Amino acid sequence: MKTRVSLFILCSVFAAAAFGQSQPKTGTLNDIKFLAGHWLGTYNGGPIEADWTAPAGDNIVGFIRMMKDEKVTLYELFAFEQTPAGPVAMVKHFKPGLIGVEEKDKSDRYKFIEAKPDQALFEKEDASIRIIYEQRGPDQLVIRRGQPKDGNWTFNDLFVFYRVR
């Protein structure tokens, strides 16, 4: 019986390869470990600061703080959690005074699409936005935002950060 099961599995693998089929590739938190660190940049005329932890267990956590004229304009809290389908990014936004933008039990959720060296692509649950996290050299991190346009995705740099530590 074991021989038949082993033969079936082996034939299935060869058949999938012959027809160009492969298992879907899933990512891990290691695909975004380059986020770890303390980063500074500018956005909308004011400083922007980000900090992410290294992967630990099934998660990475972080924040972005946006300021203008020495006052906070927005906080973003991030949690990347590992799932069987790859990392999921969850983001909650807060106005000054820690007033939530999303409903209490809601967050913006982005599923993992793919990763390349020093780059990972996520897509919002409703498929309206894609986010690329990209490390451009040892001390630069860029977050790019994409939206569908004429059947293709158009990306622009949203945030450009430089490593502080």
- Assess whether pLDDT exceeds 70 at residue 6: no
pLDDT score of 165 = 80
pTM of this structure: 0.82
CB 87 within 8 A of CB 31: yes
Q: How far apart are CA 91 and CA 106, in angstroms?
A: 9
What CA–CA distance (Å, rounded) separates 164 from 150?
39
Neighbours of 2 (CB within 10 A): 6
| Residue 25 binned pLDDT confidence (cut-offs 50, 70, 90) | low
The larger pLDDT score, comparing residue 22 to residue 161, is at 161
pLDDT of residue 19 exceeding 50: no
The one-letter code for the residue type at 31 is D
Predicted local confidence at residue 26, as pLDDT: 83
Give the fold, CATH level 3, of 24-163. Answer: Lipocalin (2.40.128)
Q: What is the pLDDT of residues 83-135, one digit of tens each?
A: 999 999 999 999 999 999 999 999 999 999 999 999 999 999 999 999 999 99
Whole-number pLDDT of residue 93: 97
Residues 34-72 have pLDDT tens digits of 999 999 999 989 999 999 999 999 999 999 999 999 999
Q: Which pLDDT score is estimated for 4?
A: 46
